[in-house]
Amino acid sequence: MGRTVIVGDVHGCRQELEALLARVAVCGDDRVYFVGDMVARGPDTIGVLDLVIELGARSVRGNHEAKLLSWDEARRKRRAEVPLGPSHQQVVRSMRGRHWKLLRSMPLWIDLPDHDLRIVHAGLIPGIPLDRQHPDVLLTIRGLTEKGEASKLRGSEPWGRRYQGPPHVVFGHHALMAPQMHPWATGIDMGCVYGGFLAALVLRPGEPVPPLDLRLESLVTVPARRAWYPVRERREAV
């Protein structure tokens, strides 16, 4: 059995993804996973999706995939159109059947028992069983309010600070220039599409997520080629 490679939010940055996979030296025995938000904002969403299909990789659903799926469902059922921004409009014009099939296959979470970890896109509310978490929380949470409720706002208390595993949760969504590292949660969205880095957590067969003082040794990063979606254009909502 090969390694497990979990990749942060790609957002259409195919060249950076190729560079990251080369740096990790991914081979046929390795299992590759994504934390979602592979689409939109960056330069080559279709190239990213085709590479994911070629790799036979798996991904959880991110809020940007969810937005595209909501648009597609409304279109197919002839309901009121789901509004899309320019980046998402460009993506749906280019997507083909294989790409929609990939998006529809994405669950809200993936459990990897051999590493005692769970992959979700954004996170969860500590203390609530997974099957009682609202899908919107798993897709969009960034932090917690003083009452312990989900918050989408940057600057709120990170939910991972209060989360107690097992399992260890690996997540994306909350783009920062450094990884989020908590005792039982690791955030690997390092803002590639905003000019930061694309990151991957790499684990040996059967290896649990390392403790805080050793975890950086399991992270591999590559810098963004440029800021494809400058921070000044970024919106706080999904």
238 within domain boundaries = no
236 within domain boundaries = no
2 within domain boundaries = no
8 within domain boundaries = no
Structure tokens at 7: 């990749």
| CA–CA gap between residue 42 and residue 62 (Å, rounded) | 15
Which DSSP state fits 202?
A: E
Cis peptide before 83 (omega within 30 of 0): no
81 within domain boundaries = yes
> At 189, which CATH number?
3.60.21.10
| CA–CA gap between residue 197 and residue 210 (Å, rounded) | 21
pTM of the model: 0.95
Give how many domains the chain has, as a whole number: 1
Spell out the per-residue pLDDT of the chain, length 238, in tens: 899 999 999 999 999 999 999 999 999 999 999 999 999 999 999 999 999 999 999 999 999 999 999 999 998 887 877 889 999 999 999 999 999 999 999 999 999 999 999 999 999 999 999 999 999 999 999 999 999 999 999 889 999 999 999 999 999 999 999 999 999 999 999 999 999 999 999 999 999 999 999 999 999 999 999 999 987 544 433 3
12 within domain boundaries = no
237 within domain boundaries = no
Residue 193: domain span: 22-231
179 within domain boundaries = yes
Contacts of 26 (CB under 8 A, 6+ apart): 5, 32, 55
3-state secondary structure of 196: coil
SS (H, E, C) 22-42: HHHCCCCCCEEEECCCCCCCC
